[in-house]
């Protein structure tokens, strides 16, 4: 980055480079109008082979096609590149473009397959996109900061190394907010990313570029990071799947982050996909790749298939979170929770209402952690190029002064005490039959999609970052305006956040938009969460099919 350049000049250069790489693939999008149901139709192309390839939602299904020779890796990558560009034209989701390298990697895979008749690895030819936080050798990792431009990574992140060794091909990186510390996807460098169904709405954040791209079939599989809901919030907003493991489960080495160096609220990397089985498949592959040999912070835990299968073979005990005691969820989310819990009970699973009285206290401590440095880390990055603050980020860094080391230690003690209290509660709760709780079922957000810059309360996601529990968001339904009416009794909000959320609700405005819920497990119990999700989704889909 030239020290004499203005931030606006740097932005112009970065966008020009990106736009030149996109130019060969651009199409006319004037008639590709907002669409609530089947939003992927907005990026549909005339070539039937492109549609056939990119409409496969499942990673293993695409691998089978590649293994049978139905498609070549080059066809797959070019198909996804073309559709990704259309998705970008509609949502502004792409940042760093890796198309040329991706096409070359695909050519090599096709040559190897022609010679051996075998796939190169368990992700042979699978297109991957990454939040612009993962280092990819030779391209920038900006975190949405102008001042991190033109400083290409010297080596791939550990996760990227593992993916490439298995035959996966990274085609692009995707947009995120300035600092990553926001549930919107906006920064001065790349601009605002919009909802894939309708540009007036937010796609969520901070991994909002990934969510938009996946929804419009511009990517088959993505990876994001999550420090307060940044994987689950966008995937809930667009109605797809996002998994936040415990922070030590998957390798974070080579993934820069704001406030890097702090360990009090560790960020986690996790998968994002269009179907659940792909999340399970990818989680198993990465866990079994021995990532702890490349990342010293990664727990040496191979995939535990026994734990994954166990909850699929017996009745579960599920703790049901209806309300976190701070912000009441909107009617469609409450309806979905109650309907799903009734389906589970009808199939022999036990459901117990979960006590959330500790949640507000946990969130209070977590919010103090976010600014223990007085905002210095973020201020330095923003000042590097002289870019303006996004208003939310400015509010964050001005929230409080830096604390002393002693005060910081006391905060860590409070965190540890709350984590122990929550664990003791989980261990003590018993179902009517006397069995322990396996997983929790919860809202992901108190609302569905919202207009831009209207996210405020994310307590339903960041509580699990505070506790470092694995959590999966998954789609269950859509808003049904005729059913999801406000209660006849006037609701009196409990606080300003609750009032803000309740005032947001307009059933007609979000009619048809997706409703997601969340499954949570104890720390490092990723297999149990995904196993439970497999059962729950199967039962729910069977129920819906009968309606």
Q: Is 463 helix (H, G, I), strand (E, B) or coil?
A: helix
Is residue 206 part of the annotated active site? The answer reads yes
- Over the range 367-376, which residues count as b (16 or more CB within 10 Å of their CB) and which as e? bbbbbbbebe
In what helix (H) or strand (E) does residue 267 lie, and over which residues does it extend? none
Which run of H or E residues covers position 270? strand 268-273
Q: Could you give the CA distance from residue 382 to residue 7 in angstroms, rounded to a whole number?
A: 10
SS3 435: coil
Is 230 catalytic? The answer is: yes
How far does CA 377 lie from the centroid of its chain?
Answer: 24
Tell me the C-alpha distance between 164 and 280, whole Å.
19
Q: Is 227 annotated as a binding residue?
A: yes
Question: Quick check: is 341 catalytic?
Answer: no
93 annotated as a binding-site residue: no
Half-sphere exposure of 249 (CA within 13 A, CB side): 30
Measured from the Cβ of residue 164, the count of other Cβ atoms closer than 10 Å reads: 18
On whether the CB atoms of residues 177 and 75 are closer than 8 A, the answer is no
Catalytic residue among 230, 267, 283, 431: 230
206 is in an annotated binding site: yes
Q: How many CA atoms lie within 13 A of 259 on its CB side?
A: 20
Residue of 14, 78, 120, 131 marked active site: 131
Tokens at 436, concatenated: 């322990």
> Is 222 flagged in the annotation as binding?
no
DSSP conformation class of 195: -
Active-site choice (202, 206, 219, 247):
206
The bridge status of strand 186-187 relative to strand 127-131 is unpaired
Beta bridge partners, 129, equal: 172, 222
Backbone φ and ψ of 430, nearest 5°: -130, 150
Q: Please check whether residue 265 is in contact with residue 180, taking contact to mean a CB–CB distance below 8 angstroms.
A: no
Q: Point out the annotated binding site.
A: 180, 206, 227-230
Q: Tell me the catalytic residues.
A: 131, 206, 230
Q: Point out the annotated binding site for substrate.
A: 180, 206, 227-230
């Amino acid at each position: 980055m030239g020290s004499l350049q203005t931030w606006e000049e740097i932005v112009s250069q970065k966008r020009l480079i990106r736009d030149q790489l996109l130019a060969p693939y651009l199409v006319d999008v004037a008639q590709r109008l907002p669409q609530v149901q089947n939003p992927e139709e907005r990026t549909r192309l005339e070539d039937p082979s492109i549609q056939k390839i990119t409409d496969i939602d499942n990673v293993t299904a695409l691998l089978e096609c590649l293994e049978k020779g139905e498609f070549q890796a080059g066809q797959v990558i070019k198909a996804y590149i073309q559709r990704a560009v259309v998705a970008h034209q509609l949502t502004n989701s792409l940042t760093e473009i890796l198309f040329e390298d991706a096409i070359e990697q695909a050519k090599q895979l096709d040559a190897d397959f022609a010679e051996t008749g075998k796939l190169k690895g368990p992700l042979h030819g699978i297109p991957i996109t990454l939040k612009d936080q993962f280092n990819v050798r030779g391209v920038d990792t900006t975190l949405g900061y102008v001042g991190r431009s033109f400083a290409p990574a010297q080596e791939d992140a550990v996760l990227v190394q593992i993916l490439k060794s298995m035959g996966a091909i990274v085609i692009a990186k995707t947009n995120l907010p300035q600092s990553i510390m926001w549930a919107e996807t906006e920064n001065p460098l790349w601009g605002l990313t919009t909802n894939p169904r309708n540009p007036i709405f937010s796609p969520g954040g901070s991994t909002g570029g990934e969510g938009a791209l996946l929804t419009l079939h511009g990517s088959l599989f993505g990876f994001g990071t999550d420090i307060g809901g940044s994987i689950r919030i966008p995937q809930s907003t667009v109605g797809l799947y996002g998994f936040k493991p415990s922070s030590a489960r998957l390798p974070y080495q080579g993934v820069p982050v704001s406030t890097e160096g702090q360990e009090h609220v560790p960020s986690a990397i996790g998968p994002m996909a269009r179907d659940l089985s792909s999340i399970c498949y990818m989680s198993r592959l990465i866990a079994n790749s021995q990532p702890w040999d490349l990342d010293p912070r990664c727990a040496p835990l191979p995939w535990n298939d026994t734990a994954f299968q166990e909850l699929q073979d017996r009745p579960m005990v599920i703790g049901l979170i209806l309300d976190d005691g701070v912000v009441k969820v909107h009617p469609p989310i409450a309806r979905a929770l109650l309907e799903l819990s009734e389906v589970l009970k009808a199939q022999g699973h036990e459901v117990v209402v979960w006590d959330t009285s500790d949640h507000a206290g946990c969130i209070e401590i977590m919010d103090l952690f976010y600014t223990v440095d007085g905002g210095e880390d973020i201020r330095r990055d923003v000042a590097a190029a002289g870019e303006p603050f996004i208003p939310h980020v400015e509010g964050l860094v001005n929230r409080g002064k830096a604390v002393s080391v002693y005060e910081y230690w006391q905060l860590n003690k409070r965190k540890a005490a709350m984590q122990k209290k929550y664990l003791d509660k989980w261990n003590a709760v018993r179902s009517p039959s006397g069995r322990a709780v396996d997983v929790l079922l919860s809202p992901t957000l108190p609302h569905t999609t919202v207009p831009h810059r209207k996210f405020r309360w994310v307590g339903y996601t960041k509580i699990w970052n505070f506790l470092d529990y694995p959590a999966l968001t998954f789609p269950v339904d859509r808003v049904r305006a005729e059913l999801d009416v406000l209660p006849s009794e006037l609701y009196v909000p409990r606080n300003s956040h609750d009032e803000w959320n309740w005032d947001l609700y307009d059933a007609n405005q979000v009619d048809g938009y997706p409703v997601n819920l969340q499954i949570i497990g104890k720390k490092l119990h990723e297999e149990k969460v995904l196993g439970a999700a497999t059962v729950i989704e199967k039962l729910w889909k069977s129920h819906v099919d009968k309606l």
